[in-house]
Chain A
Amino acid sequence: MSVTLFVVDLPEFSALVNSVRDAGGCVLSRMDSGYWKIEAADELHFSRKDLGLGPALWNSALSGGFRGRIAAFDRSEIRLVRDEEHPS
């Protein structure tokens, strides 16, 4: 059981992928379907300030799809966690 975020490999979403590329605690892989897959055991965390995203892109940052649960999604922070109720 883990938390997974898919990010479509298009330029406007590259900040999400780049932010985890060197981060510990998650595994990044590229799928043939054109999506990046970001996996973590318990939690994925993104800061809007670190990503440098404007409001439009920030609000569609998870639009590639995910497995897990949104624990926080406000103006400055996204926390995606393992879903205990609906385990993948």
Chain B
Amino acid sequence: MDETAKTDAPLRFRGVHHTARPTWKLKETVEFYRDILGLPLAHVISARGWGPAEHPDFLHFFFDSGNGSMIAFFYYLGDEQPEHLVHRPAYDNDATHSAWRVHSREELLAWRERLEAHQVPILYQIEHEVIESLYFRDPNGYLIEITLPLRQLQALDVSDADLTIRAAVAEESRRLAAGEGKLQKIESVWRAKGEMLARGDAPGGREAEFA
């Protein structure tokens, strides 16, 4: 096998090992994840600062989030929270979040009850296309999602995803070439996708009349 063939061989991730975010609230964060959510504290690294000269000493602590995954935090000693890392509750800040899986609607509702019993405000409970989710915040303001998959993804989800992304990239490229700037409205993507489907530019793109 030559080098190119080696690097092009299929590789897959095998799930989440840990997510990691910084915190400037040690006690509150431990109490929230360990005592309110009830996630076991699984591992802690406590170390002198190393690496860059300005790196502070730190605690790096991990909570068990199931299936071999962990939710981790860095607590930097003597470090003031910089302004640009203050979490603001806005759609673009909240885009950075993780969604934790449950197996049944009963489990999802049990989490809701648990959170409400501990006076943790539920921001939303929403049914999306293929999941139903609860949203709330931790003491750092970080958005947390607990989600129930409503159905298995299938081949059509994959081909539709491919078509939507191809339409979006093609439409943005067209706009940029025409001096119209980046995508502004989703309507333009839906129109581009419609034109691609009308041309038969999709897997199995021939049409069968519905009787």
Contact = CB atoms under 8 A, between A and B. Distances in A.
A35 B167 CA distance: 16
B194 A32 contact: no
A64 interface: yes
Interface residues of B, number: 35
Contacts of A60: 129
Given A32-B204, A32-B206, A33-B206, 16 more contacts: A4-B194, A4-B198, A5-B194, A10-B156, A29-B207, A30-B208, A30-B209, A31-B197, A33-B159, A33-B202, A33-B204, A37-B207, A56-B128, A56-B129, A65-B194, A66-B190
Interface in A38-59: 54-57
Contacts of A63: 164, 190, 193
Contacts of B154: 10
B208 A32 contact: yes
A24 interface: no
Interface string B109-132: 000000000000000001111100
Interface in B149-181: 150-151, 154, 156-157, 159-160, 163-164, 167
Given A4-B198, A54-B126, A33 B205 contact: yes
B30 interface: no
Given A11-B151, A33-B159, A33-B202, A6 B208 contact: no
Contacts of A36: 210
Contacts of B193: 6, 63-65
B200 to A, nearest CB: 8
Interface of B: 126-130, 150-151, 154, 156-157, 159-160, 163-164, 167, 187, 190-198, 200, 202-210
Interface in A1-42: 4-6, 8-12, 28-37
Contacts of B167: 65
Interface residues of A, number: 32
A76 interface: no
Given A10-B156, A67-B198, A62 B190 contact: yes
B197 A35 contact: yes
Nearest to A30: B210
Given A12-B129, A56-B126, A65 B197 contact: yes
Given A8-B156, A8-B160, A31-B205, A56 B210 contact: no
Nearest to A13: B129
Nearest to A83: B191
22 contacts: A4-B194, A4-B198, A12-B129, A29-B207, A29-B208, A31-B208, A32-B204, A32-B206, A33-B203, A33-B206, A34-B160, A34-B203, A55-B126, A56-B126, A56-B129, A60-B129, A62-B190, A64-B160, A65-B163, A65-B194, A66-B191, A67-B198
